[in-house]
Amino acid sequence: MLESVTISNYTVDNTYLKRNKVEISNVISMIVNRDYTVAINHSVKYSIVTGVFLKNSQPEAEAYIKKNALKIIRHFIDLNDYATVKGLLESDKFVNKENIDKLIDHAIASTQNDSDTQIQVLLTNYKNEKFGTSNSIDKLKL
């Protein structure tokens, strides 16, 4: 049995795919053809597309992530995958003024059951650096 395959500088673990009932041939086709519309388990797809983007900055992977940014970043927040969330933030392509607060709220909600607030702090710092903070008192001034 094939344990892993490397395509476009990205290594796919066949054990992970089998555990999630995803055929390696579908994943190979998806990566080689740069077609991220393939119907496979979303968790697996999000991991692969994001991995391909972070390794290669592939435009098709970037477009897929942009289209699904909230779902994908929430997925990695739920997994408590600090490195991937950080990588997506550092690309400066997926988080904007319209979605940052939703992501912070999701990170807060996901940390209610454990004490790891690393991603919450990462997102809050990103918001402050990129968009500044809005002081509600300033809004009340005439």
Secondary structure (DSSP) of 52-91: HHHHH--HHHHHHHHHTHHHHHHHHHHTT-HHHHHHHHHT
Confidence of residue 36 (pLDDT cuts 50, 70, 90): very high
Work out the average pLDDT over 24-48. Answer: 92
Q: How many residues does the chain have?
A: 142
Please state the pTM of the whole predicted model. 0.85
The predicted-structure confidence for 74-87, as pLDDT tens digits, reads as follows 999 999 999 999 99
How do beta strands 4-7 and 10-13 pair? antiparallel
Q: What helix, strand, coil percent values describe the chain, rounded to 5?
A: 65, 5, 30
Residue 138 has pLDDT above 60, yes or no: no
d(CA 116, CA 108): 10
pLDDT of 114 above 80: no
